[in-house]
Amino acid sequence: MFDKIVAELARALNRKEISSVELTRTFLDRINKYKSLNAFITVDPERSLAQAKAADARIARGEGGALTGVPIAQKDIFCADGWLTTCGSKILSNFVAPYDATTIEKFNKAGAVCLGKTNMDEFAMGSSNETSYYGVVKNPWGIDRVPGGSSGGSAAAVAARLAPAATGTDTGGSIRQPASLTSLTGLKPSYGRVSRYGMIAFASSLDQGGPMCRTAEDCALLLNTMAGFDPRDSTSVDEPVPDYTQGLNQDIKGLRIGLPREYFSKGLSSEVAQVIETAIGEYKKLGAQIVQVSLPNSQLAIPCYYVLAPAEASSNLSRFDGARYGYRAKDYTDLLDMYCKTRAEGFGAEVKRRIMIGTYALSAGYYDAYYLKAQQLRRLIAEDFRKAFESCDVIMGPTTPTTAFKIGEKSDDPVAMYLSDIYTISVNLAGLPGMSIPAGFAPDGLPVGLQLIGQYF
């Protein structure tokens, strides 16, 4: 049962071939059995089973929907009423959310079961899940390897079949990169498609929640539930939500696939390149037409992002000061000392690095040179995509330059770490939707993901 995808589980539940309680127990047992992967920060079997029981009752009344009774793991960035919600940080290590994020509320309404809160890089800052206060997550495909980040716990959970699906968030690649490194299908929707209300903010103009599943069909099912306008998020977009399952399994004859020259140049490992080329060959066989496109400002995406994201983070994270909620330092002399010690003790090294970079970039005298410049580059990067889409319907390329790297390999070298998002970050800067799908395996047996970038919505 644990090896079935969401679509199959939903069918089995609706036909009453299994109960949600049974299914939830199966996954909880597996989470416990594979604890050493460290995929979850919090599990609360009592809560999950109560939801499962309610789902079974709902199905018995004939009121089940597409996800009723299906257990879903939630990234620990989403506030969930009554659940410890840490965002991977010590500073929120005692924070029990008093309300539901819109995404959680929508899953609850659908009757899905929250299986637990998954491990993640602290405040979603990272590409390897090594910055989490709760420790590294291991990649089920090779336990000496990182699962990617920041949604590394969600990725490891679904890859190891500890959950049939999970949520993630993607500010610069955090759904697509871990999906790629663990052979999942991960979708970052267009900016504004999924509400950010109750999703702890990292870089508000880039953050977007999305599904991490095993198939496109499952992603469609989850996105059907997650997507939609939310008056509580001023950046959510008031556009009708189509039924995403309607777009599945359509003919792709004549589809124009754009291959950006810059995504196939130096920096891409030959093992990954080979798998990607073979995958694209399959599309050709199915009748797609390949066109060369160019995204000339691609090399500016990382520097641009590492000004803008830290700038926004430095502002967003100012709320964590020990005064209202979360961790507070034990010994302090006065209010200022309390703030300083709380933040010094509560944040990890990567988060502090970002706060310092962001504060610097926004300070008087440097704002124009860094922040404003980065905003201008952001526009150029979005323009590149607009031009590329004049000659193609979808852009394809690798999701990551290499397969999963070793735990510890890049943790002392922030720049090397930042480069692992080289193909994903520009998509967030442009606000476009992107997804990573399994493309095959490199000779070392590790998974390779193919990235698909589409037009808005």
User: Known catalytic residues?
Assistant: 75, 150, 174
From residue 323, how far is each of 194, 355, 382 by CA, in Å? 30, 19, 40
Residue 309 touches ligand GLN, criterion: CB under 6 A: yes
Q: Which of 40, 48, 46 is nearest to 23 (CA)?
A: 48
Residue 147 touches ligand GLN, criterion: CB under 6 A: no
Name the minimum Å distance from CB 167 to ligand GLN.
Answer: 13
From residue 53, how far is each of 24, 106, 116, 132, 263 by CA, in Å? 10, 18, 16, 33, 48
Q: Which is nearer to ligand GLN, 127 or 215 (CB)?
A: 127
Residue 124 touches ligand GLN, criterion: CB under 6 A: yes
Name the minimum Å distance from CB 420 to ligand GLN.
Answer: 7
Q: Which of residues 401-430 bind ligand GLN (CB under 6 A)?
A: 421
Q: Which is nearer to ligand GLN, 335 or 416 (CB)?
A: 416
**Among residues 172, 210, 358, 434, the one that binds ligand GLN under rule CB under 6 A:** 172
Q: Which is nearer to ligand GLN, 83 or 123 (CB)?
A: 123
Name the minimum Å distance from CB 431 to ligand GLN.
Answer: 14
**Among residues 110, 125, 279, 355, the one that binds ligand GLN under rule CB under 6 A:** 125
Q: Which is nearer to ligand GLN, 65 or 433 (CB)?
A: 433
Question: Up-side HSE of residue 437: CA atoms within 13 Å toward CB?
Answer: 14
Residue 198 touches ligand GLN, criterion: CB under 6 A: no
Name the minimum Å distance from CB 313 to ligand GLN.
Answer: 8
Residue 187 touches ligand GLN, criterion: CB under 6 A: no
Q: List, in sequence order, every residue forming a beta bridge with 450; answer none if it has no partner.
A: 398, 437
**How many residues belong to the site for ligand GLN (CB under 6 A)?**
13
Q: What is the DSSP string of 220-259?
A: HHHHHHHBS--TT-TTS---PPP-GGGGTT---TT-EEEE
For the chain, state the CA radius of gyration: 21
Name the minimum Å distance from CB 60 to ligand GLN.
Answer: 40
Asked whether 435 and 186 are in contact (CB, 8 A), the reply is yes
The rounded distance, in Å, linking the Cα atoms of 87 and 446 is: 28
Where on the chain is the footprint of ligand GLN (CB under 6 A)? 124-127, 150, 170-174, 202, 309, 421
